């Protein structure tokens, strides 16, 4: 097993495998995506450990902090230090004293599976958080969604090489993709995208987000927290995701593949040329 990059924690590894087909078996080397324990430590106190792809970690730190409600704005995250350890990666985050006092009493310990959604929640009351309201009059042509999903494979660099990661992408209302982030966990990929949007001062409400997974409650919650008005998934939504998208006033799209898709809430944001 060899790393494809010189970093302590490369995103891709080369591993030996035996490939079988109609002509029998042969030895090959495959690229596989890495997953690494990533600890998020706030002002010296460990809050969460997630399994993640070790790329775009500053985006991940900011996006996770925002979507979990640990900070209210990027200005409250003062510093991110990335430390490699023998066991994984520590993200040492320094937040304002006022914000830290607000969440340390109710912090939850996350022992995160890959892109874990509800890991570490201690009760049913904690499990399903109220979804924020999404305001705005975004209007997206139906053709923009199909253009964006058609273009997505070309910008999924890690997926092309490994086939083992999810992507979250932000596109303008014309369907052009401007940002994409990838991770073994779909929640992590969305957190990285949210962090990248905020760090680059891009208004999430000026476009829409694509995800290469099903649409779960947690993804709807994270998107709503970021002010995203339209979330489009290549697979199906869950019932809870539909209910919460409706409650939030978010447009939720599923089964975005080829030339078609289904809209489950706030269909008025889709401009249909056939209507």
pLDDT tens track for 198-235 = 999 999 999 999 999 999 999 999 999 999 999 999 99
Q: Which of 1-15, 39-53, 144-158 has the lowest mean pLDDT?
A: 1-15
Average pLDDT over all residues of the chain: 88
Q: Nearest CA to 199 among 8, 65, 37, 45? A: 65
Residue 105 CB burial class (10 angstroms; 0-12, 13-18, ≥19): exposed
Distance CA 39, CA 104 (A): 16
pLDDT at 145 over 90: yes
Q: Report how many helices (DSSP H) and strands (DSSP E) the chain contains, helices first.
A: 8, 16
Among candidate residues 38, 116, 142, 184, the one labeled active-site is: 116
Q: Which residue reads 């600890």 in tokens?
A: 39
Average pLDDT over residues 68-76: 93
Q: Catalytic site residue 119?
A: no
Global confidence as pTM: 0.89
pLDDT at 114 over 70: no
Highest mean pLDDT among 1-5, 84-88, 117-121, 238-242: 238-242
pLDDT at 246 over 70: yes
């Amino acid at each position: 097993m060899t790393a494809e990059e010189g970093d302590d924690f490369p995103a891709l590894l080369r591993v030996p495998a035996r490939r079988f087909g109609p002509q029998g078996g042969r030895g090959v080397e495959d690229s596989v995506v890495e997953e690494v324990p990533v600890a998020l430590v706030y002002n010296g106190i460990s809050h969460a450990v997630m399994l993640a792809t070790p790329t775009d970690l500053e985006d991940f730190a900011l996006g996770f902090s925002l979507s979990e409600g640990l900070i209210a704005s990027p200005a409250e995250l003062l510093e991110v230090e990335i430390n490699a350890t023998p066991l994984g990666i520590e993200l040492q985050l320094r937040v304002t004293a006022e914000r830290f006092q607000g969440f340390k009493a109710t912090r939850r310990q996350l022992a995160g599976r890959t892109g874990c959604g509800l890991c570490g929640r201690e009760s049913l009351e904690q499990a399903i958080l109220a979804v924020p309201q999404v305001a705005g009059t975004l209007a997206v042509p139906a053709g923009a969604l199909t253009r964006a999903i058609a273009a997505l494979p070309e910008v999924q660099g890690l997926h092309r090489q490994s086939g083992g990661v999810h992507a979250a992408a932000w596109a303008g209302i014309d369907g052009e993709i401007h940002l994409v982030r990838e991770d073994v966990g779909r929640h992590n990929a969305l957190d990285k995208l949210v962090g990248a949007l905020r760090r680059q001062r891009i208004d999430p409400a000026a476009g829409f987000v694509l995800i290469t997974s099903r649409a779960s409650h947690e993804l709807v919650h994270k998107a709503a927290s970021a002010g995203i008005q339209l979330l489009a998934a290549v697979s199906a939504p869950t019932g809870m995701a539909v209910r919460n998208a409706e409650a939030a006033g978010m447009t939720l799209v599923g089964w975005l593949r080829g030339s078609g898709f289904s809209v489950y809430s706030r269909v008025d944001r889709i401009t249909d040329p056939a209507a």
